[in-house]
Amino acid sequence: MASNFRVSTHRNSENVHLQLIGDFDGISAHQLLDVLERNCGSVNKIFIHTNSLRRIHPFGCSTFHHRLSTLKRPSIDILFTGENANKFIP
């Protein structure tokens, strides 16, 4: 369990920016998905910034990809940025 994982959130009228910090594992994936669920309501784009991640566990990415399809709403773009972005793009 990655006890050092956290998500920093910045929101403006149309977009949400999520900065992922620490180690990303299965529990972190669920935490991120919960944050996405809470913030999907009234925005057009969600930017997920991955530069501050230290370690990314394959199980965490797998869990995230599996549950993301049930969460994603058609009118919202989720964009990944940073050196680890390719690990999160489904």
* Sign of the dihedral defined by the CA atoms of residues 2, 89, 36, 20, in that order: positive
**26-84: per-residue pLDDT in tens?**
999 999 999 988 877 778 899 999 999 999 999 999 999 888 877 756 667 889 999 99
CB 80 within 8 A of CB 45: no
Map out the domains of the chain with their CATH numbers.
6-87 (3.30.750.24)
Residue 88 reports pLDDT greater than 60: yes
Indicate whether this model's pTM tops 0.85.
yes
Which pLDDT does position 89 carry in this prediction? 82
Q: What are phi and psi of 49, to 5 degrees?
A: -95, 125
